[in-house]
């Protein structure tokens, strides 16, 4: 009986020690985990906010720029044939798109030869493309800098961990090293996440700018063909209307 009682007490003591030794599993809060990264996580958060703003702002601008108006070229053809350059200019101002602003330059320089007119249109299109690319260098910089900041946090975190280890001497406690290790790991993850998202956003916007450029080049070519067509039609009609020949009167 005494042996049974002692065995029961020993088993109870073992269970108690086992429960005390088992760590308490706590839920991981993403925000709290991110704050373990220190000041570098604040910088990464600001960079991510700036990157998101640039992406959606450029996305809206590019979506408007690529919205093709099917009546633009036909309207300009009719106005040029009627020598109504004012209406053509006002229509382009009303649309207020990169291609309409580019073609408005071509309307003003309508009487130039084809090569000069094409050069003027391409120069103006280059200015419009540069406007569409506004903010993309910043997004590219974020994509490059964010991972580097994460690695910087890794280095500073490991330095902090080893510094605490050296000060602890023989009384090394894991809890003393946890903050440095957290900073080292969390900043790396945060920097990579921000950098990966930024590079995908940058490449998408660059592809959209290239698409808008191709659309503008296509419309410029069509406009030059319209101008050449209108000039040929007017030159063909000029001798008939203004050759000064008096009609013969049959008596």
Tens of pLDDT along 128-140? 999 999 999 999 9
Tens of pLDDT along 183-202? 677 888 888 999 999 999 99
Q: Average pLDDT, stretch 137-145? A: 94
Predicted pLDDT of residue 62: 92
Q: Average pLDDT, stretch 80-90? A: 86
Question: In the chain, what percentage of residues exceed pLDDT 90?
Answer: 24
Strongest mean pLDDT among 28-42, 138-152, 156-170, 224-238: 138-152
Residue 113: pLDDT over 60: yes
Q: Which residue has the higher pLDDT, 174 or 72?
A: 72
Predicted pLDDT of residue 107: 85
Predicted pLDDT of residue 30: 59
b or e along 193-220 (b: 16 or more beta carbons within 10 Å of the residue's beta carbon)? ebbebbbebbeebeebbeebbebbeebb
Place of tokens 């510094």: 163
- pTM (predicted TM-score): 0.74
Domain residue ranges in the chain? 38-232
Tens of pLDDT along 18-65? 344 344 344 456 555 556 656 788 888 899 999 999 999 999 999 988
Residue 89: pLDDT over 90: no
Predicted pLDDT of residue 234: 75
User: Judging by beta carbons within 10 Å of its beta carbon (0-12, 13-18, 19+), is residue 248 exposed, middle or buried?
Assistant: exposed
């Amino acid at each position: 009986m005494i042996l049974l009682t002692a065995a029961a007490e020993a088993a109870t003591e073992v269970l108690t020690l086992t429960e005390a030794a088992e760590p308490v599993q706590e839920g991981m809060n993403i925000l709290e985990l991110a704050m373990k990264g220190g000041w570098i996580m604040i910088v990464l958060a600001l960079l991510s906010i700036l990157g998101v703003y640039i992406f959606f702002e450029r996305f809206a601008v590019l979506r408007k720029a690529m919205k093709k108006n099917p009546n633009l070229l036909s309207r300009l053809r009719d106005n040029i044939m009627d020598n109504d350059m004012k209406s053509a200019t006002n229509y382009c101002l009303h649309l207020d798109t990169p291609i309409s602003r580019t073609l408005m330059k071509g309307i003003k320089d309508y009487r130039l030869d084809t090569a000069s007119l094409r050069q003027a249109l391409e120069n103006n299109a280059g200015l419009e493309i540069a406007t569409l690319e506004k903010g993309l260098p910043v997004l590219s910089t974020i994509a490059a800098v964010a991972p580097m900041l994460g690695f910087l946090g890794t280095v500073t975190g490991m330095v902090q961990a080893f510094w605490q280890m050296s000060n602890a001497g023989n009384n090394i406690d894991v809890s003393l090293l946890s903050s440095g290790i957290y900073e080292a790991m969390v900043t790396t993850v945060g920097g990579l996440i921000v950098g990966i998202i930024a590079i995908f956003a940058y490449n998408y916007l660059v592809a959209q700018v290239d698409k808008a450029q191709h659309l503008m080049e296509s419309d410029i070519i069509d406009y030059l063909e319209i101008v050449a067509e209108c000039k040929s039609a007017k030159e063909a009609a000029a001798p008939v209307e203004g050759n000064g020949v008096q009609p013969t009167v049959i008596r």
